[in-house]
Structure 1
Amino acid sequence: MEMQMELRPQPHVLLLPFPAQGHIKPMLALAQLLCHAGIHVTFLNTEHNHRQLTQRQALSARFPTLHFRSISDGLPSDHPRSISPNLMDIVSSLRSKTAPLLHQLLVSLMSKNDVGSAAQLPSLGCVITDGIMCFAIEAAEEVGIPVIALRTTSACSFWCYSCIPKLIEEAQLPFGDEDMDKMVSGIPGMECLLRRRDLPSICRVPTDHPVIQFFVEETRAITRASSLILNTFDDLESSILSHIASRFSKIYTIGPLHALLKSRVVDDNLSSSLRQEDRGCMMWLDSQRVGSVIFVSFGSLVKLTRVQLLEFWHGLVNSGSPFLWVIRSDVLWSDEAEQASHVTPAEVIVDWAPQEEVLAHEAVGGFLTHSGWNSTLEAIWAGVPMLCWPQLADQQVNSRWVGEVWKIGVDMKDTCDRSTVEKMIKALMKGEDKEVISRSVDHFAKLARTSVSKNGSSYLNLEKLIQDLRNL
C-alpha cells in the first residue's frame, strides 16, 4: 500500500489571484506551501503582474513544481491598473475578456498536450481562485473540475461582506454620511459591536452602485465553491468562523500564511512584492533604541491628499517618536507626488520596505497602518501594536477588531488631523493604555505562533487541505 501511495502522481492545481499586491502575496505563499508538499502548482497572474513579479525564476528554482503562467487582463497597455479608483474597469475586463481565455487554458491544462508549459505536468485536477474572481468558478464547472475559493480578508470582514445583501433587504443600507456612529444590527455575531463607520467601505455608496453590486454578486457566487480557504487562525476569529461555517461545508483556516510558510520552509522567504524593496532602512533601524520607532505604511493602494500627508507628518514629528515612513511614488491623488519626498528627512522615507522584516525589528514599537489584512496579520505575528487609519474595502472592519475586540491597538478611522495623530501615537507608544495593549499583543502573537507550529490549528488544516487535494 505504501508503494502505491508513493507511485501515485502528485495533483496539479491552478491558483488564480485577483490582480493586486495584497491578493497575490498570500496566494503565492499558499503556492509555495503546496509545492513544498510536492504538489504541482500553476500560478496564473495577469501579464502585467507576471512581468512585475521579479522573483519568478528564483521561486521556480527553489520549488521545481511551481510553474508561472500569465493571462491577459484585457486592458490597454497604458491603463494604470490601480484598484483605486479603477476597480470596475479591471473587474469588467476580467469578466468579459479574461474569463473565456481562462476557460481555454483550463481545457489545455486538463489535456496531456499542453503546449504552453515547458514542463510535462499531470492533468489539472483543481482550481483555487481568489474569492472575488468567481468567474473562475463558472469556468471550472464548465470543464468539470473542483474549485476552492480563497478569501484574502479577515473572517470578520468576509462575514460582513456576506451579510451585505441582508442589510440591503432590511434597508440598513445605504446610509450616506448620516449618523456614522449608529450601531448596525443584522450581522449575526457582531451585535452591539459594529457602527456604520465600521462596515466595509463599499457600504458608504448607493446600493445600485456598480462596486457594491459586484461584491453582492461575488458573495452569492462564492458559495458554489466546494470549500473555502481563509488566511486567519482559529484562536483569532473562532466565533465568526462558526457563523461562516453555516454557508460552507468545509473551511480551511491556514493563516497567517506568511508565518506558516516560514514554519514549513526553512529557507529565507523570497519576496513576493510587485515593488522594489528598499533595504537601506534596516541599517537605520539598527541605530535606533529598542521599541522607539513608529513604522508608517498605508499599503499598496491607499492614496492621500497633500493635506492629509502634511497632517500625518506634523503629528508624527510632534509625537517625539522616531519614525520610518513608506511613501510610495504614487501615494498622492494629485500631481504633487514628486513633492512627497521633500516633506520629511530622506533617511526615514522609503518608497517600499521589506515590511515583515521591519515589523520584526526590535526597534519598532508601533505600526501606523491602513489595516489591510496582510499588514494586520504581520503586525500580530511580530507582536507590534497598531494605530489604524483604514480607507478601503475590508480595512474598516479590521481596524474595529484591532481596537475593540482584540485590543491590540487603537482605531483612528475617519479622522486625520495633526493633534489626533500626535495624541494617538503617544497613547500607543508611551500612554497609560500601552501596558494593556502590550499584554493583548503578546497574547495574540503567542496564539499565532502556536497555530503554525507542528500540531497547531493552521498547520493541521494545511495538512488536511494537502490530503484533500491528493484525494481529488
Structure 2
Amino acid sequence: MHNRSPLPHVFVFPLPLQGPVNCMLKLAELLSLQNIRITFLNTQHIQQRLLSCTDHKSHFKRYANLRFETVPDGLPEDNPRTGDQIPNLLASMEIVAAPIFREMLTVGAYGPDSEAPVTCIIADGIFTFAPGVAGEIGVPLLYFDTISPCGLWAYLCLPKLIEAGEVPFKDDNMDELIMNAPGMEGIIRRRDLPSFCRAKDLDDPLIKLVLREDEHIPLARGLIFNTFQELEAPILSQMRNICPNVYAIGPLHTHLKARLEAETTTSNSIWKEDMSCISWLDMQPLRSVVYVSIGSLVIITKEEFLELWHGLVNSGSRFLWVQRQGSVIGGDMVSETPVELAQGTKERGCIVSWAPQQEVLAHPAVGAFFTHSGWNSSLESIVEGKPMICWPYGVDQQVNSRYVEEVWKLGVDMKDMCDRVVIEKMVKEVMESRKDEFLERADHVAKLAKASVSEGGSSFRDLDRLIDDMKSMRIQATSGRN
C-alpha cells in the first residue's frame, strides 16, 4: 500500500439510526482530536436530518480532520424509518449502500492508490459485508456495536441457546431462567432476552440476521464498546473469549466532554430539540420531575399511550414528556385528550416533541427517567445519577432493563406491560418509597462512570490504547497493555 498521508485514516460507517450515529460521531470527534483523519459515512437521509437539526457546520469546524461522505439507504423518502422498519433498512443497505462503500474503499477516493488511503475501518457490527472489504484492501476492521455489551452478548449466545433448545421457547412461561448464556446465569429470564428470541421459528429474518452477525463479529481485529469496565466487567471478560482485543471507552458523550474540557458538547440529534422545557424545569422543585422519553424509534399504540398518560397523571409526580411525532400508531392523540389528563398535565406536566436529553437528565429538577432502555439513554441516565423506570421496546433493550433492575440496582423494569396502575406504582416507588435507596446507588455508579473517562481511568486508558494502535496501523490481537 502506498501510504502518502502521514496521518492514519479511519473510515467510520455507523448503522443509520439516531443512537448509533450519535454514538459513533462522538468517537469520530474524539479520534480526530488526536490527529487521526476520519471519514464518516452517513446515509443521505441521516445527513440531511443532521444538517437541519443541529448547528452542524459551526460545530464540526473544530475538527479539521473529520469529513463526511454520504450513500443512499435505498428506502423511499417517505419511509418513517421507525423501529419496525429496521429489517427493511438493513436489507436495503445491503443492496444499495454496501456496493458503494466497497467501491469507495477499493478503487474510489479512499482506495489503496489514493492520496490518503484508509488505514482502518470502524463499522457497525450488523454490517456483515465489512470484513470482506477490509480483507480486500488489507486493513484492520474494528467492529463497534453501539448497543450494550450485555445486549450484544445475548446476541452472541443465540447459537448456544438454539443448540440447547432454549430458543425458540417451548411454552409460554416467560419467567423461566435461561441456562445457556455464560455469565448471565441466574439473571436472564426468557422475557429478558433480545426481542427477536420471541420468534416462533428459526426461519425468522431477524434470527437469521443475528446468526450472520454472530459469525462475522469474531472476524474483527477488535471490538469497541460504549461502556466502562466498572459497569460491565463480567460481560467484557466473556467478550474477550470471542475477540481478545476489547476497547471499553464509554460513556462516550462524557468522555468527549472530559477530553475537550468542556461543560457541554453539541448535540448530534436528528430531531429538532425544543429548548422551552429547560425553562419549565427551572421552575420545578429539586428532583421532583419524571422525564419520559421512548427514544427516536419506538412506536406505541393509542391504548398504550393513554395508559402511560393516566399512570403519569395518577402518580401525582411532575413530568416532562417527549411525545415524538409519529410515535403513536394512528396519529396524533392531543385532539382527543380526556379532561382529567388535560387537567393533570396542565397542573404538573410539560409535553414537547423532542428534548435536549443530556441537558434534561443533568437538570437538578429531574428525579427519574422513564425510558425505553436504549443504550445511549441508559448511559446518559447513569452518568447523571438518575434512577430509571424501564419500559423496553426491542433490540438490546429487554436485556438492558433487566440489568438496570437486577444487576446494577438503578431502577425498576416494567417490561411486557403497559397498565396505568403499574405505571403509577413504579413511578411512586422510584420517586417516593425507594427514592433514597435508588438515588444513593445511582450517585455511586455515576461517580464510577465519570472516573472511568478521567485521566488514568479505565475508559481513558482504553481510548489511549485504541489511538496508539490506530497510529501504528496495526490492531493488536491481544487485549494489550492497559
TM-score with structure 2 setting the length: 0.92
Partners in 2 of 1:362 and 1:65 — Cα distance? 36
Name the residue aligned to 1:232. 227
Kindly state the Cα deviation for residue 468 of structure 1 after the two structures are TM-superposed: 0.4
Q: Which runs of 5+ in 2 are unaligned?
A: 474-482
Residue 313 of structure 2 is aligned to residue 317 of structure 1:
yes
1:80 paired with 2:76, answer: no
Partner of 1:282: 278
**Is residue 2:47 matched to residue 1:45?**
no
1:194-215: CA deviations, max 9, x gaps? 1100000111113210011101
Instruction: Give me the whole-angstrom Cα distance separating, in 2, the residues matched to 1:221 and 1:94.
Output: 17
Cα shift at 1:123:
2.0
CA contact (8 A) 1:327 1:341 kept: no
Count, aligned residues: 458
Give secondary structure in 1 for the equivalent of 2:152.
helix
Say whether residues 1:408 and 2:421 are aligned partners. Answer: no
Cα deviation for residue 164 of structure 1 reads: 0.6
Over residues 252-271 of structure 1, what are the superposed CA-to-partner deviations in whole Å (9 max), with x where a residue is unaligned? 00010111011011343111
Query: Where does residue 215 of structure 1 map in the other structure?
Result: 210
Q: Which amino acid aligns with 1:222?
A: I
User: Residue type of the partner of 2:328?
Assistant: L
Aligned to 2:430: 428
> How much has 1:338 moved relative to structure 2?
6.2
Query: How far 1:395 sits from its partner (Å)?
Result: 0.4
Amino acid at match of 1:417: D
Aligned to 1:66: 66
SS in 2 for 1:464: helix
Partner of 2:124: 130
What SS does structure 2 have at the residue aligned with 1:245?
helix
Letter in 2 for 1:260: H
In structure 1, list runs of 5 or more residues that go unmatched: 1-6, 115-120
CA contact (8 A) 1:177 1:204 kept: no
CA contact (8 A) 1:110 1:125 kept: no
Contact 2:5 2:117 in 1 (8 A): no
Match of 1:99 in 2: 98
Q: Greater shift after overlay, 53-62 or 213-222?
A: 53-62
- Alignment of structure 1 residues 182-197 onto 2, 5 Å: 182-197=176-191
Q: Aligned partners of 1:90, 1:174: CA distance in 2, in Å?
A: 25
**How far off its partner does 1:112 sit?**
8.1
TM-score by length of 1: 0.93
**Equivalent residue of 1:192, what SS?**
coil
Is the alpha carbon distance of 1:324 and 1:63 closer, same or farther for their aligned partners in structure 2, counting shifts above 3 Å?
same
Q: Which runs of structure 2 are paired with 1:334-373 in the superposition (5 Å)?
A: 334-336=330-332, 339=335, 344=342, 345=345, 348-373=350-375
**Aligned to 2:241, what secondary structure does the other structure show?**
coil
- Give, in whole Å, the separation in 1 of the partners of 2:325 and 2:334: 7
* Contact 1:292/1:364 (<8 A) preserved: yes
SS of the residue corresponding to residue 203 of structure 1 reads helix
Q: CA deviation at 1:38?
A: 1.4
Once structures 1 and 2 are overlaid, which stretch shifts more, 54-63 or 94-103?
54-63
Deviations 1:210-232 (A, max 9, x none): 01110111121111011000110
Amino acid at match of 2:430: L
Q: 1:331-360 deviations in whole A, cap 9, x for unaligned? A: 112234564889654770111100000000
Equivalent position amino acid for 1:313 in 2: W
How far apart, CA to CA, are the structure 2 residues paired with 1:33 and 1:340?
A: 47
- Once the two structures are TM-superposed, the CA of residue 113 in structure 1 deviates from its matched residue by 7.6
Match for residue 144 of structure 1 among 131, 138, 156 = 138
Q: Is the 8 A contact 2:105 2:112 kept in 1?
A: no
1:298-326 C-alpha deviation (Å, 9 max, x unpaired): 00111111111111111111111110000
- CA shift, 1:62, in A, is 1.5
Structure 2 counterpart of 1:167: 161
Structure 2 residue aligned with 1:378, among 352, 377, 380? 380
- Asked whether the equivalents of residues 298 and 327 of structure 2 are also in contact (C-alpha less than 8 Å), the reply is yes
Instruction: Please list every run of at least 4 consecutive aligned residues from structure 1 whose deviation after the TM superposition is greater than 6 angstroms.
Output: 340-343
Q: CA deviation at 1:370?
A: 0.5
Contact 2:26 2:252 in 1 (8 A): yes
Of 23, 41, 61, the residue aligned with 2:20 is 23
Distance in 2 separating the partners of 1:341 and 1:66? 47
Aligned to 1:118: none
The answer to whether structure 1 residue 181 and structure 2 residue 146 are counterparts is: no
Q: Is contact 2:104–2:111 with CA below 8 Å preserved after alignment?
A: no
Deviation of residue 442 (structure 1)?
1.2
Q: The residue matched to 1:348 in structure 2 has which SS?
A: strand
Structure-1 separation of matches of 2:11 and 2:260: 21
Query: SS state of the match for residue 187, structure 2?
Result: coil
Deviation at 1:100, TM superposition (A): 1.1
Counterparts of 2:11 and 2:95, CA distance in 1: 20
